[in-house]
């Protein structure tokens, strides 16, 4: 039976995730899933929350960013539901071909951890999702991300200090996974430079981990 890969891209704001996932999906004829999916009911609630149009005010306990811990739990539960809504579609797509994710479960885990939530709880609420075969972290400095996208669209994009902590947490998780699970694919890619150069770095890492034959087969599967 032909092996199809599920490849998840992660990273902070404006590091090139949309560009690189589109390029890889087009190169290998893969199905692209982007999260959050704002077209669903949960996605609309997520977008509204990111624009500070609603939050939970019923509890007085406040986390490190001055936002209710319960508020952030409710938000992460919505983010998780947004991914689980697509689980069936992901599983069906995985039977037909390769899959590329523009953000996936790790975004919720990293952002939630930075917001003061329990990492163990965050991992636990995502563990039944279809799991990727490869995780790719597109890494660039926060200064670089502000240069690329000067206009910030939501509260996460505007919070420079939070973005620094998010980058640090991503790098910590990838370093831990690469150390403790060397057989798995957890790769950090320098996201600076020309998009085509970044794309080739990604393909080289995938080829190195899965073998040239697998990547060549992916290319043959492209329409």
Flag whether 144 is in a domain.
yes
Residue 140 lies in a domain: yes
CA angle 137, 29, 108 (to 5 degrees): 30
- What's this model's pTM, rounded to 2 decimal places? 0.87
Residue 17 lies in a domain: yes
Q: What is the CATH number of the domain that holds 90?
A: 3.40.50.300
Q: Show the domain range for 215.
A: 6-221
Question: How many domains would you assign to the chain?
Answer: 1
Residues 6+ apart with CB under 8 A from 37: 43, 82, 85, 86
Q: Higher-confidence residue: 152 or 120?
A: 120
Exposure string over 15-27, b if 16+ CB within 10 A, otherwise e: bbbeebbbbbbeb
Task: Give a yes or no: residue 48 inside a domain.
Answer: yes
In a domain, 145, yes or no: yes
For residue 47, report the phi and psi dihedrals to the nearest 5 degrees.
-60, -40
Among 1-15, 104-118, 206-220, the range scoring the smallest mean pLDDT is: 206-220
Alpha-carbon separation of residue 67 from 11, 82, 125 (angstroms): 23, 22, 21
**Has residue 1 been placed in a domain?**
no
CA 186 to each of CA 11, 49, 67, 209: distance values in angstroms, whole numbers, following the listed order: 13, 30, 31, 10
99 near 6, Cβ under 8 Å?
Answer: yes
- Tell me the per-residue pLDDT of 155-205, one tens digit each, with 9 for 90 and over: 667 788 999 999 999 999 999 999 999 999 999 999 999 999 999 999 999
Share of the chain above pLDDT 70, in %: 84
- Indicate whether 56 pLDDT > 90: no
pLDDT score, position 37? 94
Query: Would residue 134 count as lying in a domain?
Result: yes
Query: 1-10, 14-23, 62-71, 170-179: lowest mean pLDDT where?
Result: 62-71
Please answer whether residues 149 and 14 qualify as being in contact, where contact means their C-beta atoms are separated by less than 8 angstroms. yes
Does the pLDDT value for residue 52 go beyond 90?
A: no
Q: How far apart are CA 94 and CA 88, in angstroms?
A: 10
Is position 88 within any domain?
Answer: yes
pLDDT value of residue 217: 64
């Amino acid at each position: 039976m032909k092996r199809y890969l599920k490849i998840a891209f992660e990273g902070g704001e404006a590091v090139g995730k949309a560009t690189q996932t589109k390029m890889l999906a087009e190169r290998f004829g893969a199905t692209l899933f982007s999260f959050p999916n704002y077209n669903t009911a949960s996605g609309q609630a997520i977008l509204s929350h990111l624009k500070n149009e609603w939050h939970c005010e019923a509890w007085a306990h406040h986390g490190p960013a001055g936002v209710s811990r319960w508020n952030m739990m409710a938000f992460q539960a919505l983010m998780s539901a947004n991914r689980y809504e697509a689980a069936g579609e992901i599983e069906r797509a995985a039977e037909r071909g390769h899959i590329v994710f523009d953000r996936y479960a790790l975004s919720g885990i990293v952002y939630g951890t930075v917001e003061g939530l329990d990492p163990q709880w965050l991992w636990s609420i995502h563990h039944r999702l279809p799991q990727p075969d490869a995780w790719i972290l597109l890494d660039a400095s926060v200064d670089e991300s502000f240069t690329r996208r000067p206009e910030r669209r939501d509260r996460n994009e505007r919070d420079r200090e939070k973005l620094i902590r998010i980058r640090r947490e991503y790098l910590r998780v990838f370093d831990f996974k690469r150390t403790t699970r060397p057989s798995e694919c957890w790769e950090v890619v320098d996201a600076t430079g020309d998009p085509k150069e970044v794309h080739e770095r990604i393909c080289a890492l995938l080829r190195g981990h899965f073998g040239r034959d697998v990547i060549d087969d992916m290319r043959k599967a492209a329409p």
